[in-house]
Amino acid sequence: MSNWYSESTPLERRTFWASFGGWALDALDVQMFGLAIPALIAAFGISKADAGLLGSITLFFGAFGGWIGGALGDRFGRVKALQITVATFALATFACAFAMTYTQLLILKAIQGLGFGAEWACGAVLMAEIIRPEHRGKALGSVQSAWAVGWGAAVLLSALVFTYAPADIAWRLLFALGLLPALLIIFIRRGLKEPPRAVASEKTPFFATLAGIFHRDVLRSTLIGGLFGIGAHGGYAALTTFLPTFLREVRHLSVLGSSFYLAVIIVAFFCGCVASGIISDRIGRRANVALFAGACIATVLVYIFAPLTNGEMLVLGFPLGFFSAGIPASMAALFSELYPAGVRGTGVGFCYNFGRIVSAAFPFLVGYLSDHIGLGAAIGIDAAFAYSLVLIAVLMLPETRGKVFEQTAATRA
């Protein structure tokens, strides 16, 4: 990261840290849920399938949030849309701490999903348009690594809170901390500016901006990108939503023990994001995704199905986290390079988040199948199938490495 970062302008660096901070705090809010599942099951007297539905509803509404958030960025500007979306998911997560019924929590998780999906779309396109083409993969891969930072913070907070507070109060304290991302808005307001010509014409109806990605010139990219999103998010959701529960209930690890195992995966995820960005800029988007997807399928199957000792699982956790990071780390650069400026935010938001509509079924399916074939088998089968869809999709997409965006070319001219 240091090489491209040292060559960056002050604006590029401010944009990087705003996007990095937003994604890290986004991860903090979202990953709290997976860590709190056992406590939520006990607090509300729900089944694993009901708990999976809470995760699914977040993903489902995240799909619409990403599409709408991307269009808001095209219509009104990336920075303004980023402020709105960060505030939305922060306030929704905070409100989850005060939910008194399962239905209330379900509604609040849906609102959180809207902000969660929209924030990524706005931040990713803002970064893609600010950073120079030769460093786009590395910069966006590094931004994606912020997910590991937020995930790690969630694990640490979870371990502390559940160790020192009763379970029925601990999960509420976790969600209350979700208000922290709102502080990022102050930084966003002061440090950033819109990329040149990034905002769509205000005369364009908002619905037309939403529908622009289905024009025949970009329809193929939209359909294949949507399939890519299904596989990427389906695999990640199937793996991570119930992974803490798998470690505690199947592998019989304590809260602190499972947190240590998760820590290995999280550090590896950070490294995988940075590595994927570097490799993507060197060998191209398609080859990079195929490499990480194939390796991820193999690693997931071994991690879940092989008769491993706890020590072997700890060691294998590093390649599991590393390879699972490479796919999401490549998506922002790849999707941004598939669309023209007027619908870039909408296209990126749709492709990245459309997968959440279908992948929203994966946590619920894992929870349902676990009652019949066991939790480990349910996670492994669902994740491997989802990552196979990524391989199919990437083989149908064009190579876009080094693409110069229209507004960048116009500014240089």
Mean pLDDT per block of 10 residues along the chain (413 residues) reads 75 85 79 81 84 80 83 81 83 89 91 84 84 86 85 83 84 83 68 63 65 85 89 81 71 59 80 90 90 88 78 79 86 87 84 77 78 79 87 88 62 36
Q: How far, in whole angstroms, is CA 104 from its chain's centroid?
A: 24
For residues 61, 126, 269, 223, the Cα torsion angle rounded to the nearest 10 degrees is 50
Distance of alpha carbon 256 from alpha carbon 108, whole angstroms: 28
Judged by DSSP in three states, 204 sits in: coil
Distance of alpha carbon 333 from alpha carbon 340, whole angstroms: 13
Inter-residue contact 63 to 362 (CB < 8 Å): no
Residues, the chain:
413
Phi-psi region of 197 (alpha: psi -120 to 50; beta: other; left: phi over 0): left
pTM: 0.74
For 93, 137, 146, 263, 272, the CA distances from 159, given in Å and listed in that order, are 19, 34, 20, 11, 24
Alpha helices in 177-284 (DSSP H): 184-191, 206-211, 219-240, 243-245, 255-283
Distance of alpha carbon 394 from alpha carbon 290, whole angstroms: 7
Domains and CATH numbers, the chain: 10-191+213-403 (1.20.1250.20)
For residues 375, 381, 385, 390, the Cα torsion angle rounded to the nearest 10 degrees is 60
Which residues fall within 8 angstroms of residue 243, CB to CB, at 6 or more apart? 34, 262, 265, 379
Inter-residue contact 333 to 135 (CB < 8 Å): no
Angle at 349 between CA 1 and CA 211, to 5 degrees: 150
Its sign, for the CA torsion 4, 328, 48, 298, is negative
